[in-house]
Amino acid sequence: MKKSFFTICLLLSGVMMVLAQTGTILGSQIRIAEKKAGKYVGWTTDWIELSGNDRPILEITADTLVDAGTKYFVYYIKFTYEGETTEGTYVYDSVKSEAVRKEWNKKVVNCYVDEEGDYIYVEDISLQQLAKDSNTWAKYPNSTIQFINKDMNIAFK
C-alpha cells in the first residue's frame, strides 16, 4: 500500500503542480553530521555561516491528495547545496514526529518521510507553512531543517 501511494503521488504531482503552492528557502548556516561505521554519530562542526552562492537552497512544493477518503499533504522537495541537488516526494509522519518531539524535548518538530525511508525534520515550523509563504522562514530565526538519508545528514537554518 505504501509503495502504491507514493507512486500515485509521483504521477499526480506533475499534473497537479499548477494548483500546488511553492516556496523557496535560502539557508544562512549549515552543519554536517559525522558518519562512523555506517551510522551518524554527531555533528562534525558547529553552525557554519554561509554567504553568496555557498548557501543551501530548498524548494518546497506542497500539494494535497485524497486516497480512500483520507486527505494527504504531499511535499516535493528539491535541495541544492554546493552544486549538488537532492529531490524527493515526502509525506508527514505523525508517529515519528511525536517520537522525535519527546526525544529532543521540543514542542514543534515535524517529520516527513519518503518512500525510501529518508527523513526531513523541521523545527519550529512546517513544510506546509513554508510552501505557502517562504517569508515565514524569517519569522522563525531558530528554525532548522535537517535531511537524514543514507548519503547525508545535513541541517541548515
Q: How do residues 62-84 score in pLDDT, each as one tens digit?
A: 998 888 888 888 999 999 888 88
Contact 127, 110 (CB under 8 A): yes
The grid coordinates of residue 57 equal: 537552497
pLDDT of residue 17: 44
pLDDT band at 111 (very low <50, low <70, confident <90, very high): very high
Question: Residue ranges per domain, the chain?
Answer: 2-156
C-alpha 15/C-alpha 38 separation (Å) is: 38
Q: What is the mean predicted confidence (pLDDT) over 118-139?
A: 89
Distance CA 81, CA 128 (A): 22
Residue 150's pLDDT is: 77
The model scores a pTM over 0.75: yes
User: Residue 3's pLDDT is what?
Assistant: 54
Q: What percent of the chain has pLDDT over 90?
A: 24
